[in-house]
Amino acid sequence: MGKDTLTGLSVRHAMRKQLIVLGPNDTIDCCIQYLLKYKVNAILVGENSERALGVVSKTDIMGAWYAGLPLSTPVRMIMNSPPFFCNPDDTLDSALNIMKTNKVYRLYALEENSNAVVGAIAYPDIVGLLYHYCSHCEQGIFNKSKDTVQDRVKRYKVHEIMTKQVESCKEDTLLESVVEILSASRFGAILVSDDQNYPKGVISKTDITLCYRHGQDLSVPAGTIMSTPVALCYEQDHVESAIKSMILKDLHRLFVVPEKHQAVSGVLSLTDAARLRSGSCHACISSRIRVDKN
């Protein structure tokens, strides 16, 4: 990478140009099919890419199931409107500020002097760019060169940036309560644990979305639909290693434990990693995107 850093990089460098757009009268069932097929967390609603009307996320799908709406309901009935926009040439720092301020997971990039949407940027896209930089860095932990100074670099550990609040439930908790917890917390998944908070499984919004489409009842217990095993990492793991694990395994989060066979102490998500606004070490913070102190 030479002297290149993330300083000055724009939305254009990280945004995804492939967009999935549904019409306002397309059904919730159609939306779910696209969410699952393309492994995305939200679908843009509009009249092609020239006029964006709203966004339907898995959170909205979850709410529709909770409200008892049939799968034939048009997405315009549940979409969030208007979407949040940015410009392809806006800095990544400003995009992160918009996302944090408005508590949104993604922005849509509008072509200058036009209403045409030309891309989308979400937290995983930013993390992917940060990881790409770190994986090519001479001081990165995956650099096998004997000439590196990586042992002298202070690196972020998982416990420094993880979210310590973890939403959890028991195997006999009803799905209705799970949906209520996820809706109130805005978390992407809930841990299913035993009485000692040891992880037994996890229920994500994707799991909830599948239940809705398959006609599952809200009165079934969490243990019947939870995914196992729970993807874990350790408090003392390097952030870079945890990010690599999430990217390679296509995961949005890892639950954190102090050591093997101990209770969960936190959760590390791609959102946490993106909000760090750096890669994984202290060596080049000053030459990258400004670190968020809040």
Share of the chain above pLDDT 70, in %: 86
The total domain count for the chain is 2
The answer to whether 69 and 28 have CB atoms below 8 angstroms apart is yes
**Residue labelled with tokens 């922005």:** 107
Does the pLDDT of residue 278 top 80, yes or no?
no
**Residue 108 and residue 162 in one domain:** no
**Residue 78 and residue 166 in one domain:** no
Does the pLDDT of residue 63 top 60, yes or no?
yes
Domain end call among 73, 100, 122: 122
Does the pLDDT of residue 198 top 70, yes or no?
yes
- Buried (b) or exposed (e) across 142-163, using 16+ Cβ within 10 A? eeeeeeeebeebebbbbbebbe
Residue 25 — very low, low, confident or very high, per pLDDT cuts 50/70/90? very high
**Residue 40 and residue 109 in one domain:** yes
The answer to whether 167 and 190 have CB atoms below 8 angstroms apart is yes
Q: Compute the distance between CA of residue 53 and CA of residue 24 in angstroms, rounded to an integer.
A: 8
Q: Please report whether residue 145 resides in a domain.
A: no
225-266: pLDDT as tens digits: 999 999 999 999 998 889 989 988 989 999 999 999 899 999
**Residue 197 and residue 267 in one domain:** yes
Does the pLDDT of residue 276 top 70, yes or no?
yes
Domain range for 21 is 11-122
Q: Please report whether residue 38 resides in a domain.
A: yes
Angle at 203 between CA 83 and CA 248, to 5 degrees: 75
Strand-strand pairing, 266-269 and 253-257: antiparallel
Q: Compute the distance between CA of residue 111 and CA of residue 50 in angstroms, rounded to an integer.
A: 10
Q: How many CA atoms lie within 13 A of 116 on its CB side?
A: 6
Q: Please report whether residue 42 resides in a domain.
A: yes
The average pLDDT across 129-157 equals 69
Does the pLDDT of residue 292 top 90, yes or no?
no
- Buried (b) or exposed (e) across 123-134, using 16+ Cβ within 10 A? bbbbbbbbbebb
Of 140-149, 187-196, 206-215, least confident by mean pLDDT is 140-149
**Residue 163 and residue 76 in one domain:** no
In this prediction the pTM is 0.84
Residue 31: CATH number of its domain: 3.10.580.10
Domain end call among 122, 139, 165: 122
> Tell me, what's the pLDDT at 140?
67
**Residue 30 and residue 82 in one domain:** yes
**Residue 194 and residue 253 in one domain:** yes
Residue 129 CB partners (closer than 8 Å, separation 6+):
6, 9, 13, 14, 92
Residue 142 — very low, low, confident or very high, per pLDDT cuts 50/70/90? low
**Residue 103 and residue 162 in one domain:** no
> Tell me, what's the pLDDT at 294?
42
**Residue 111 and residue 20 in one domain:** yes
